[in-house]
Amino acid sequence: MPLPEAPTVAAVTPEALRSALRQRNGRRGQLKGRQPDDAARAEVLALLPGLDSTNAPPRDRLIEHLHGLNDRFGALFQRHLVALAALMRLSMAHVHEVASFYHHFQILPDDQAAPRLTVRVCSGLSCQLAGGAALLQRLQGVLGEGVQLLPAPCVGRCEQAPVAVVGQAPVVVADAAAVQARVQQALADPAAARHPVAPGAATFDPAARAPCAITSGDTDLAPPWVGLAAYRQAGGYQLAADLATGAVAADAVLAAMTDAGLRGLGGAGFPAGRKWAIVRSQPAPRLLAVNLDEGEPGTFKDRTYLERDPHRFLEGLLVAARVVGIDAVWIYLRDEYHGARAILQQALAELQAAPPCPLPAIELRRGAGAYICGEESAMLESIEGKRGEPRLRPPYIAERGLFGRPTLAHNFETLYWVRDIVQRGPAWFTGFGRHGRRGLRSFSVSGRVRQPGVKLAPAGITLRELVDEFCGGMADGHTLQAYLPGGASGGMLPARLADVPLDFDTAEPPGRSQGEASPSGGGGELGSPPGGTLKSHGCFIGSAAVVVLSQQDSVRAAAVNTMQFFADESCGQCTPCRVGTAKAAALMAAPRWDHATLDDLAVVMADASICGLGQAAPNAIRCVQQYFPEDV
């Protein structure tokens, strides 16, 4: 018996299906969900003109637009988010998930008023040692109606602890009276809630004085900085110009960087010359992303250099771009650095008005309060207008990074030293060093020392030497009990290990940077003294954020502080980190530690976390268990 013929079905195109769905929903051409009202749309367009053009606005500008709304209205109101989503042709879910990811964005319903002013008190370890928790407690309920008071992770002014930030204006070495006074000024005059403006007239050449103390207990919020005219008068941008004309060969610059052994100074420590060569070998177009999201508790070196000498960094950027063949540059600056952002914007304007050579496209992007964006792939996600969640590797970002293109990612300070290394020669840089190490390191030193600040010291210097020679010794009434060699991530060591060399050659942080074949990168453990190396003691130098504790401090409380920081800053993408850090913080706060459970958590976090945050978080547990068992 023959089978019946199949009925003929008319072909349906995707566009026909979409059209039918729109007609059925009665919302031709509209997004589903709440529709923007005319008033909110007008407010957004008045602040962000051009979003109503016929061309879809670039999606990677989303976070910049959220900043504009947050700054103007004091919060992100639902009506504005709906209007922004419609104007950018984005789903409301996407806009909301991005806005809710970052600490500095506050989403409010339309019927709720924004705070008149927000005051943040730093809860970082250095500020806690200086009385930050007590300051936060004293400010509760005394700042006035409509003033929002929040604890905040490290704000990058550890040498000026304790610190409160009133709006965008830091109050350093703060007490309750000073904060209250600034709040009253800001309520009367909004200008008092802005970062003070720095004068643009100074000379600054740390390489000529190295090794030296860059700062020593300074409390200046807006130090003078080197403008374009002064920088060029001292030979600035000559290297960039010579490279562009061919007077200096790109290969010669690359060889100098390789011979100097300069390593990434943001924490990963990957050899800079090798990184340039890897990205240079990739197909064009190639991009450069500069990591200025200096969020590691205890770290403030990048801010210190940027506030004083922005053009030296920009010249290093131009040299790297020329040698590697970079088409466009993005600079990602942490949101807490309002004064530094104003300086960098002005320096960029100076450079673009009088360029010494052809410039690549350079765009400055503003972070929004997320420590995880210091991880290079999370930074790229944020630049692209997304949640700052680390990517899985491979592919490494040298192969497929920002917007899917080969990307050179660098820390600010790495680029800062390019000019001096090339012009002075690799031997100048390698001529510094102690205990078998070579080069210079910028240490951010805070805590119980007499003269905290940024110290440009020989690589391989020990903690004892660093404190005695560059910090004026321990603070009065304090004796060394312990120290963190690499911020919250780098572990903690007792005073008896204060003679261990501080350098990348002694340790590597967990995780790998772009394109590296092995975690050690290059170098190896050179000239190890009898005291061993940081790596052999379960620590690493990272960003060289050194926090010094004395006999008056609780090592246990310091470990809890660091773990709570990691729990607050976990992006939540992977369970080992999201759950592990929160569980560990709770267990560490108990009167007696449950060592077996903490050991299990440490193994799972270190082995299974996607990025270095979860992988490094157990260092606080393991170091206290090993070196301070009597405390737990």
| pLDDT, tens only, 5-51 | 655 545 556 566 556 655 655 444 555 678 999 999 999 999 998 89
**How confident is the model at residue 515, as a pLDDT?**
35
**How confident is the model at residue 119, as a pLDDT?**
98
Start-end ranges of CATH 3.40.50.11540 in the chain? 206-427
Band (pLDDT 50/70/90 cuts) for residue 149 is very high
**How confident is the model at residue 15, as a pLDDT?**
66
Estimate to the nearest angstrom the gap between the alpha carbon of 271 and the chain centroid.
Answer: 20
d(CA 377, CA 366): 16
**How confident is the model at residue 68, as a pLDDT?**
97
CA atoms within 13 A on the CB side of 612: 24
Is residue 462 over pLDDT 80?
Answer: yes
Is residue 240 over pLDDT 80?
Answer: yes
**How confident is the model at residue 267, as a pLDDT?**
87
Is residue 474 over pLDDT 60?
Answer: yes
State in words which class domain 31-108 has: mainly alpha
**How confident is the model at residue 7, as a pLDDT?**
55
Name which of 299-303, 353-357, 366-370, 507-511 the model is least confident about: 507-511
Contact 352, 359 (CB under 8 A): yes
Q: Output the furthest CA–CA distance in the chain (Å, rounded).
A: 104
pLDDT digits (tens, 9 = 90+) for 359-395: 999 999 999 999 999 999 999 999 999 999 999 999 9
Q: For domain 206-427, give the CATH number.
A: 3.40.50.11540
**How confident is the model at residue 205, as a pLDDT?**
96
Going from the C-alpha of 117 to that of each of 74, 169, 305, the distances in angstroms are: 8, 11, 30
Is residue 426 over pLDDT 70?
Answer: yes
Start-end ranges of CATH 3.40.30.10 in the chain? 117-193
Start-end ranges of CATH 1.10.10 in the chain? 31-108
**How confident is the model at residue 523, as a pLDDT?**
34
Band (pLDDT 50/70/90 cuts) for residue 470 is very high
**How confident is the model at residue 18, as a pLDDT?**
55
Over residues 595-622, mean pLDDT: 96
To the question of pTM greater than 0.85 for the whole model, the response is yes
How many residues does the structure list for the chain?
Answer: 632
Over residues 185-189, mean pLDDT: 97
Domain 440-631 has CATH 3.20.20.70: no
Domain 117-193 has CATH 3.40.640.10: no
d(CA 130, CA 173): 8
Percent of the chain exceeding pLDDT 90 equals 87
Over residues 180-187, mean pLDDT: 98
Is residue 518 over pLDDT 50?
Answer: no
Cis status, amide bond into 285, omega within 30 of 0: yes
Start-end ranges of CATH 3.10.20.600 in the chain? 440-631
- Three-state SS string across 396-460, please? CCCCCCHHHCCEEEEEHHHHHCHHHHHHHCHHHHHCCCCCCCCCEEEEEEEECECCCEEEEEECC
**How confident is the model at residue 529, as a pLDDT?**
53
Cβ partners under 8 Å of residue 422, min gap 6: 239, 248, 253, 256, 257, 319
